[in-house]
Chain A
Amino acid sequence: MLKINALHKSYAIGDSSLHVLKGIDLSVEEGEMVAIMGSSGSGKSTLLNIIGMLDVLDSGEYILDGLPIDNLTEKKAAVYRNKFLGFIFQSFNLINYKNALENVALPLYYQGLKRKKRQELGMFHLEKVGLADWAHHLPKELSGGQKQRVAIARALAANPKLLLADEPTGALDTKTSHEIMAFIQQLNDEGKTILMVTHEEDIASMCKRIVRLRDGVIMEDKTVTQVRASQYV
C-alpha cells in the first residue's frame, strides 16, 4: 500500500539547515491503522506532510499503491491528493461560509463531478457520519465533535486509498475524542487504511500499530492489541 525507503528531509533555517528526517523506512499494508508518535520536533508532522504530498522529500523513495511519487509538480500533487488521500486536521479546517454538505462535496467539485452527483455523494457520506440532519448548517452552528465528523465525511467523500489524520482529537474533549476514535476504528474495520499522528498514548493505543519517532529516526515500530474506543463511549 505505502512504502518509504531511506527518506531524508531537511529545512533551511537562515544559513544553516535542519535535518528533520534522517532516513525513514516505513511500509504500511492495506487495512492497517498506524499511529505515528513522537515529541514535538521528532519529525512526525513532516513525515505525515510528505506522505500527504503537502511537502516534497529531499532524497529517498515514496511509493503509494505501486505508484512512485516523485517529480511532484503542484498540479500533479493536487490531482494525487484529490484521488488518493483524505485529510483530517486537528482544527477541522472546514470552510466557514459553506454548509456541512458543501464542505463534504468540495473534493468532488475538484474532481469535476456534476453538481447533482456531488450532492448525492456528499449526502451519502454525511449520513455515514450521522449528520444528515445537519447538512445545511454552517460550521459555526456545529459542535467540535460534529465538525470533526463533517471533516471525516469530507475526507471520505472522494473515496481515498489512504486517510491521513493529524492529531484528529487534539482539539476535542476526552468523551468526544473517544466518539471520534470509535468512528475512525469503524472505518478501519470496513477496510480503510489509516495513518494518524498523535502524541496522546491512549489515542495511539486505539490503533493497531505504533511507530515512534525521535530526532528524525524510527525508534520503535510495534504492533499492539487495539483498545476499542467504543467501550468508553
Chain B
Amino acid sequence: MLKFLFDRDTWQEVFDSFSKNKLRSILTMVGVWWGVLLLIGLLGSARGLENSFNRLFGDFATNSVFIWGQRTSKPFKGFQEGKGVGLTLTDAKKVEDNVEGIEFVVPRNQRSAKMDRNFLSGNFSVAGDLPLLDKVQKKKLKNGRFINEADMLDKRKVAVISDDIYKQLFEKDEAAIGAYILINGINFKVVGVFKTSNVSMGPSSDVHIPFSTYQQIFNQGDRIGWIMITGQPEHSIKQIEADAKLLLKNLNKIHPDDKRAFGSFNLGDEFAKVTGFLTGMQFLTWFVGIATLIAGVFAIGNILLITVKERTKEIGVRRALGATPFEIKRQVVVEAVFLTIVAGLFGIITGGWILIGLDAMFGQGDDATIVNASVSIAVVFIALLILVVLGTLIGLIPAFKATSVKPIEALREE
C-alpha cells in the first residue's frame, strides 16, 4: 500500500481525472475549504477572545471572594434586626484558621481622603493593605516597590500611588519615588507607582499605605472594611464562601439563615461565567466547523459518485484489461482523500490569513479585544485527521459503486 502511495502512476491517475474536470473538482473542494476555513477562523478568534479575557483577569486570583458586613435582617439572641455588622481582624484570623481550603485571607480597609502636593490636590481612595495583597491582586508597578513587612512593623508613612494620581499630582516626567504627598495633612513618602488595571474587580484604590499605618492614622483599631479570601485551586470557592459566612455569623451572633448580614462578591463565580461562555463558544465553533466539513466532504462524495457513473465504461475497460476491483476502489478512495486534503490545506492556509488579518485589525495594543488569535498545531492535525478519515469513508461509497457494475454491463454498447 505504501508503495502504491509513492508510485508516480497513482498520482498521474489522480491528476488526469482531476484535470479532466477542473471546474467541477474545484467547485467540489469549495465545500471542504469553507468548512476548514470556518473551523480555523472561528477557533482562532475564540482563542483570541479567551486570551484577551485571560490577560484582563491575569493579575487577579480568580478563585476568590470578597465578604463585608452589612445589617442584619433577622433578630437573634436578643439582638434586634438591623444591627450593624462589622468585621474585625479576629474574624479574619478565625476564618483563615477554621475554613477548609483557604489559601489567603486578606483583611482590607479603604476610605476616601484628601491628598495634596504643592498646590495640587484631590480626593482619592486610600487603602490600608498588607504586603500579602500583592500576592492575590498583583500590582503592575511602573517604578518602585509595593508595601513590605518593614513598613508594617515600623508603621512607616509610605504610599504606593496609581499612575492616575501621579498624573494629577506630579508634573510630566517628574520623579515620583522619594517625593512626599500629604494625605489628610500627613506627609507620606511615595515608594511606588502602579499601573491602573483595565478591569476593576472589587473596590479599586488609588493609594495603598501600610495596614498598620492606616490603623493608626484613622483610629481604625481592629475593625476592617472587608476581607478578600482566595481558595486553593482544588477547592470550590462557593463552598468556601458559604463556610466563611456561616462562621462569621456564628462569631458575630447573627441568625444562621440571615441572608443580608454579610455582602459578598464571588469573583470565582463571575470568572466561571465568562470561561463557561468561552467554552460554549469553542464547542459551538467545533460543532459548526465540523458540520460544515461533513457537508463539504459529502459534496465531494456526491461529485465522485457522478464522476464514477460517467466513467462506468472506462472502469469496465480497465477491468477487462485486468484491473482488480480492489485496484479500482483504491484509486477512487485516493482521489477522494486527495481532494479533501488539498481543499483542507487551502482552508488552513486561508484560515491562517484571516487570523493574521484579525490580529492586524483588533489584536494590537494593550486593550485589544482579540489577543494572539491562533490555533494550535494539534488542532490543525486533528482537523486534517478528520478530513482523511471522512474522505476515506465518503470515498468508499463511489468506490463500491464503481465496482458494483459488472464489466460486461459497463462495456455494453449503447
Of residues 53 through 73 on chain A, the ones whose CB sits less than 8 Å from some CB of chain B are 54-55
- Min CB distance, A90 to chain B, in Å? 6
User: What distance in Å separates the Cβ of A21 from its nearest Cβ neighbour in chain B?
Assistant: 14
Q: Using A89-B411, A97-B16 as known contacts, say yes or no to A106 and B403 having CB atoms under 8 A apart.
A: no
Say if the beta carbon of A109 comes within 8 Å of chain B: yes
Interface positions of A (Cβ within 8 A of B): 49, 52, 54-55, 74-75, 78-79, 81-83, 87, 89-91, 93, 95, 97-98, 106-107, 109-111, 115, 154, 158
Q: Are B324 and A74 in contact (CB under 8 A)?
A: yes
Task: Report Cα–Cα, A115/B9, bound state, in Å.
Answer: 8
Cross-chain pairs A/B with CB under 8 angstroms, 26 sampled: A49-B408, A54-B406, A54-B408, A54-B411, A55-B408, A75-B324, A75-B325, A78-B323, A81-B320, A81-B321, A82-B322, A87-B320, A89-B411, A91-B413, A93-B313, A93-B320, A95-B314, A95-B318, A106-B318, A109-B9, A110-B322, A110-B323, A115-B8, A115-B9, A158-B321, A158-B322
Could you tell me which residues of chain B, from 390 to 414, have a CB within 8 Å of some CB in chain A? 403, 406-408, 411, 413
How far is the CB of A26 from the nearest CB of chain B, in Å? 19
Q: Which of A55, A78, A93 contacts B322 (CB 8 A)?
A: A78
- Size of chain B's interface in residues, with CB distance under 8 A? 26
Q: Is the interface of B mostly helix, strand, loop or mixed?
A: helix
| Nearest CB of chain A from residue B320's CB, rounded to whole Å | 5
Q: In the bound complex, do residue A74 and residue B403 qualify as a contact, i.e. CB atoms below 8 Å apart?
A: yes
Q: Judge whether B384 is part of the interface by a CB distance below 8 angstroms.
A: no
| Chain A residues near B16 (CB-CB < 8 A) | 97-98
- Rounded to whole angstroms, the CA-CA distance of A115 and B392 in the bound complex is 27
Contacts of A97 in B (CB 8 A): 16-17, 19-20
In the complex, A95 Cα to B318 Cα: how many Å? Answer: 9
Most buried by B among A78, A90, A109, A111: A78
Q: How far is the CB of A1 from the nearest CB of chain B, in Å?
A: 20
* Contact residues, B51-102 vs A (CB, 8 A): none
Q: How far is the CA of A115 from the CA of B6 in the complex (A)?
A: 13
Residue from B20, B321, B408 within 8 A of A107 (CB atoms): B321
Q: Which residue of A lies closest to B319 (CB)?
A: A78
With A93-B313, A95-B314, A97-B16 already in contact, the answer to whether A78 and B325 are too (CB < 8 A) is yes
Q: Which 5 pairs of residues, A with B, have the shortest CB-CB distance?
A: A82-B322, A54-B408, A110-B322, A78-B324, A107-B321
Q: Taking CB as reference atom, which chain B residue is nearest A154?
A: B321
